[in-house]
Amino acid sequence: MELRQILTQEQVRDETEEKIAEVRKYTPTAKELRDMRKSAHYWEVWQGLPDVEFKEVLSRGSYNSLQYEREDVGIWVNRDAVSAARQNPNAIYTVMVRTKKDKLIAPLKMVYDVSPSKFTLERTIQTAIELNKEKRK
């Protein structure tokens, strides 16, 4: 792989992470993430969806969903989250974040599963904190 391609892939990854950071309202601290290292996933809270090029897809149940795929990032927006986004671009979402390794030589992929929250931003953040504390036990 050419150096130019590697730099381009890194730039795309960095741009995607910046766009996700813009909507992120809560994520565990670095220490909390270290404590949860054995865990397969953790929870974040987003307000709105990142400004990335989502593709409209059908879920296994044939529901309208949104998907964003890059080599090292995947975002899945379920049908309820799609509906919430259409009603309110600043909707609150609970996001399950997990790492996935597709192939032996492929880099780890960050996968974000987005669901709408039925609570206020503050209550959703508190719920995510509590869920993450349970993961550390």
Residue 6: pLDDT over 80: no
Rounded CA-CA distance 62/21 in Å is 30
Structure confidence by residue, pLDDT tens digits, 18-30: 999 999 999 998 8
Residue 66: pLDDT over 90: yes
Rounded CA-CA distance 56/78 in Å is 11
Domain ranges of the chain: 3-136
Stated pTM of the model: 0.82
Structure confidence by residue, pLDDT tens digits, 29-52: 888 888 776 667 899 999 999 999
Determine the 3-state secondary structure of 76 from DSSP.
Answer: strand
Closest alpha carbon to 97 in 82, 114, 80:
114
Rounded CA-CA distance 78/126 in Å is 22
Structure confidence by residue, pLDDT tens digits, 67-122: 999 878 899 999 999 999 999 999 999 999 987 765 555 556 788 999 999 999 99
Pairing state of beta strands 109-116 and 73-77?
A: parallel
